[in-house]
Chain A
Amino acid sequence: MRILIVEDDKLLGDGLVRYLQQAGYVTEIATSGTEADAVLANEEYDLVILDIGLPGMDGFEVLRRLRRRQRYVPVLVLTARDTLDDRVHGLNLGADDYLVKPFALLELEARIRAVVRRGQASNGNRIVHGPLVVDTGARRAWLDDIPLRLTAREWNVLEFLILREGKMVSKDQIVSAISSSDDEISQNSVEVHISRLRAKLEPAGLKIHSIRGFGYYLDLKASTPG
């Protein structure tokens, strides 16, 4: 997976490149907005990590010009500015996620996976989550290369959790996501589906954590980049 890092701070840029390379990503770095714009016009990447405060052309402008071109690339914005206006502005311009400096590298990696995954899932692609491989198009999943046997409802719950990986999911959300007009599902039956999913996933080290009184959270730590 190819990532373009646009960051003018040498220490941070260098740290990101080294860490992400070690984590198995292919990285390139651009240290100014103009350079990033030129590179993005010619090369194709799977993800852009974009700083906003850049010399010359700022990150917002790079993003605006990138989105004017046809091909879609997920963009994760990094910024030291964290006012609501900045966030809204960035997301309005088409950023996929937003991370405020300073951040933990684990957090960055989780966001990268989530952003890329959302792009893949919307294209009906395969999602790789550590030992778990999910094909949203074919509605099939594999755990350690062994096909996972899931009921239709279990599949729906798993897909919902995978697509919101790294985010809290409430029981209400799951209920409304997997219920249809002729098939009303209760919170209790969600709990049943979750406990069955846990029984199938936990042997491979994948955990669905409970948030008391609220819902669930799919752990990221067991996963590695694809």
Chain B
Amino acid sequence: MTSKPAPQVSVRRLLFRWLLLPLASLLALNVAVGYQIALYPAKAAYDWALMDTALSLSRLMAASGIGSGIPLSRSADILLRTDQYDRIYYSVHDAKGALLAGDYHLTPPQLESMTAGELLYDSVLDNENIRVAALRFMLHGKDAVVQVAETTVKRSRLTNQILTGLIASEMLLVVAVIILVWFGIGKGLAPLERLRAAIEARSHRDLRPVPEDHAPVEVQPVVHALNNLLGQLEGALQSQQQFIANAAHQLRTPLAGLRTQVEYGLQQRDPEEWHRILQALKPATERTAHLANQLLTLARAEVGAHQMSSRQPLDLRAVVESVAGDWLPQTIARDIDLGLELNPAPVLGDALLIGELLANLIDNAIRYTASGGRITVHTRMENDCAVLEVEDEGAGIPEAEREKVFQRFHRVDGSLGEGCGLGLAIVQEIAHLHGGHAEIRTPASGAGTLVMVRFPSAQENHG
């Protein structure tokens, strides 16, 4: 109905969006956390090694008397400074900041800041980042500070290696997840695809239910609903078949009668006989015409169920005024007193169909009312319903028959063999089409038939 096409929904795309976007953020978070977790112990290990070197140096100094004039041996110096990646600096200062050994440009930390005895910190030397381990110790009975520093080449290498490794493995994971999700969704949707193929392979006449047990649990409600619809269709189709069978009978019988009379008439030579035959043909043709109209009205009411567009605000009173006149020649001929007691009764409806509904009611009333009788049509509002009533003084319809008379081709036992049994079915069909309902009642006078049709009022929509 809407002019804008609805956006296509793809389950695969939906799942991808909902799985992969959060997954990607989670993986990014994982890289960050993993990086921190892996980096900390590695850096701590380097720090401990650096501090160990500082400790070794302090022991060496204390044991060898270095610092009181004796320099560090060349071999010890080489040992201290040897590293595969980084340059090593070291220095030993006394409490006053005087250099006792090592590199002069390694500034000592304030002794007061070293309450813990040891300190690890980052610094810059000759425009290079360095990591420094400082240790406070007693040298020959005096406070001294040993510092060992190294450039950060291997630390950076370590950082890079951890990061590269983490990202590479996460990337691998992402690719694996994409592939798995893609195929997994495909696998998950396969039963749906099989269901589609199974439904598509059916002929349009095959209304058997789709097997529900093969469908995945998630799709079963859909299959169930589909089966309900198929069941309803099958029911509708069956009643239509039944209807066609009845209609065929109803149409062929009067035509057969007409044909028989005509053929018989052609064999006759007596004008009296011809006249008698023609007299018999007249009501038969009228009945056939009536039946054709009824069948067409029913068909139109059924089509009308799908076409809400023909519905417009109208007043039952106006419909009665425009249709009732067609029956005046008949009521006058039979000396029937027709009364119209019309009050406003606005509805939303198809004027032609409501006209047919009324025509059927008046037609029935005339059929079952004796000469000199009364027929009254009422329109009015009652309890927010627009009401249309046709009341006659005929024989009435027994309680037990009052539901059945609305069925197609149903005819009350012992009724005059005039109607085709469709009139009230049409009335009910059209009433239902408009959201209304028709029922048979006993008139206030106690005799005859009163058909009351209630429609939802259109009043609230217009004021």
Contacts and interface: CB of A to CB of B under 8 A. Distances in A.
Interface string A201-226: 00000000101111001011100000
B103 interface: no
A212 B376 contact: yes
Contacts of A221: 329
B253 to A, nearest CB: 18
A56 interface: no
Interface residues of B, number: 22
Most buried by B among A107, A110, A209, A214: A214
A82 B355 CA distance: 12
B352 A167 contact: no
B338 A212 contact: yes
Interface stretch (B80-88, B339-347, B419-427): B339-347
A145 B324 CA distance: 34
B117 to A, nearest CB: 105
Contacts of B332: 209, 217, 219
Contact of B328 (A102, A106, A170, A209): A209
Nearest to A168: B325
B325 A212 contact: no
Interface in B305-354: 310, 321, 324-325, 328-329, 332, 337-342, 350-352
Contacts of A106: 329
Contact of B339 (A83, A213, A220): A213
A146 interface: no
Interface string A162-185: 000011101000000000000000
Contacts of A83: 300, 352
Nearest to A103: B289
A214 B342 CA distance: 8
A217 B321 CA distance: 12
Contact of B337 (A102, A212, A219): A212
Contact of A214 (B285, B339, B374): B339
Given A84-B352, A170-B321, A212-B339, A217 B376 contact: no
A83 B307 CA distance: 13
A219 B333 CA distance: 10
Given A84-B310, A84-B351, A170-B321, A212 B329 contact: no
- 4 smallest CB-CB distances across A and B, nearest first, come from A212-B339, A214-B340, A168-B325, A102-B289
Interface of B: 285, 289, 292, 300, 310, 321, 324-325, 328-329, 332, 337-342, 350-352, 374, 376
